Structure 1
Amino acid sequence: MTETTARVAIHPPEMNRHASKHSAELTLSQFIRRLGHPGKEAGSLNKFLDQMFVIREAEGEERIQTESFIHECFGRAYGADVTSFMPRLLELRTRRGELTAAFGVRCAADAPLFLETYLDAPIDEVLERKLGYRPSREKIVEIGNLAAIYPGAVRWLIVALTVRLYQEGYQWVVFTGTTELKNGFHRLGLRPIPLASASIEQLSIDQRAGWGSYYDTLPTVMAGSIGYGYHEIQSHCEFPKAGEISYKEVIL
């Protein structure tokens, strides 16, 4: 998979577009607190998260480590060979500095999205058919390169990216999701809109190299309202207890 075949998008509209402007380290509980009252166990959740996790931009030497983490995870899961990565990578680390999960982002206004390969029209036109109006490409962000070492981390990533993208002014998130990723959204009470099936036959011959068995998972192109997701998480989210974590590598 090269950069031309792995376009996953973001920049913050109405804010500085450079990733270095978003590198302030935040604990996940700070993200959760901004959501209001996420569940009955908010107090214990905040204590657990403060002790365990930080989420931040992967830059410098840490970015190299994050790229290696994503490459190794996709290699183990699918026999895939990820050789390039998104302009911005965000990572989830334990307080001891252990890399737990990561994802990449890019804005639709910056370049054609890779998932548009699977669509019969640009993403803004496809969304217009579903919504009755056409969102600006500057308000659409694609996520990808998602990898995590245990299933519960998927939910923390979804919460964190939802809050961050909401704060950066985005309205729609789009992604090509495996069953594991879709389940992560569903467990948070979120229901992304299916847009199209993703098949390796839709790629050029050159683009097909490096994916391994990824397409055997029958991935689907999906879209979600960031504002809706933000308020749903705020109102209804229930989170796992620390003791429920089972360390198991999962790739999205």
Structure 2
Amino acid sequence: MHIPLEQETGENSRLYYNGRRLRRFSPLTPRIVSITETFEPERKRVEAFIASVFSTNYKAVIKQHYPTLMSIRDGGDTILGALGFRRADKDRLFLEQYLDAPVEVEMSRVLGAEIRRDGIIEIGNLASRGAGAAIFLIPALMAYLKQQGFRHVAFTATADLYDYFRAIGVGPVIVAAADQKQLPDGGASWGSYYDTSPHVIAGDVRFAADRLRRFLGVRLLRADMAVFSRLHHDIGSG
């Protein structure tokens, strides 16, 4: 299975998955993965999808969206799942409200190695209508972040999502509890979200991407390299 990954910059790539293995987790057949930053119509659609899912699931009101959004859509252009992410060296992270020190300090402590802030990406607002959309989103994001040279991710995850990450073998590590009392409104705008026992978790991008490549056959190739790879395969099979 291969799915185009489109970016506003025009630096398009192609994601490859092992379709047989994916069917164990999801019946979905996404047709495109999209990364959106400033393109207004598409960004508004993805923001509305995320807000709708959080409202339905938790009665939460999403007041702020991430600067970069990733979404997956089917052949009818229906959004199946989405998430947001941001660079830690560009801004204070939302999840740092839960921490006693900057994220790189806390991650260095739990991971036992010096972690650079400019290599960290915060992921958030993971939204899905179900049916296993996350099994496409998370591998796509890990492959993309590895290609871009980022080293670590930090994420506020529910207990179920943490267990899911462990199950697919990406090695999440708990950094701290996500205490709603640390938020300006005490978590009131998040509805029942904090009933899910969320924690700040961290992970190694290269480890996760390599694990998912072995587990699900996930690869990300630039469009020109994807064409070369297909041609090479066809010639070798002829």
1:156 corresponds to 2:136: yes
The TM-score normalised by the length of structure 2 is 0.79
Q: Which runs of 5+ in 2 are unaligned?
A: 1-6, 219-238
Question: SS of 1:162's equivalent?
Answer: helix
Q: 1:24 to 1:117 in 2, by over 3 A?
A: same
Using the alignment, how far apart are the partners of 1:118 and 1:44 within structure 2?
A: 37
The amino acid across from 2:198 in the alignment is P
The amino acid across from 2:177 in the alignment is S
Percent of aligned pairs sharing the same letter: 34
Candidates 1, 18, 32, aligned match of 1:54? 32
2:93: which partner in 1? Answer: 113
Contact 1:189 1:237 in 2 (8 A): no
Using the alignment, how far apart are the partners of 2:197 and 2:90 within structure 1?
A: 28
Using the alignment, how far apart are the partners of 2:65 and 2:22 within structure 1?
A: 36
1:85: which partner in 2? Answer: 65
RMSD (Å) for aligned C-alpha atoms: 2.5
Contact 1:158 1:185 in 2 (8 A): no
The TM-score normalised by the length of structure 1 is 0.75
How far is 1:209 from its partner?
Answer: 3.6
Q: Which runs of 5+ in 1 are unaligned?
A: 1-18, 240-252
Contact 1:155 1:185 in 2 (8 A): no
Largest Rg, 1 or 2: 2
Summarize deviations over 1:93-120 as a string: whole Å, max 9, x none: 0021011111001000011111111111
User: Between Structure 1 and Structure 2, how many residues are aligned?
Assistant: 208
Candidates 200, 203, 210, aligned match of 1:231? 210
Which fold has the larger relative contact order, with Cα–Cα distance below 8 Å and residues 6 or more apart in sequence? 1
Q: Which moved more, 1:211-220 or 1:128-137?
A: 128-137
2:15: which partner in 1? Answer: 31
Using the alignment, how far apart are the partners of 1:24 and 1:98 within structure 2?
A: 23
Q: 1:127 to 1:44 in 2, by over 3 A?
A: closer
Summarize deviations over 1:158-200 as a string: whole Å, max 9, x none: 1101101111111101000013322332332222000111111
The amino acid across from 1:167 in the alignment is Q
1:179 corresponds to 2:159: yes
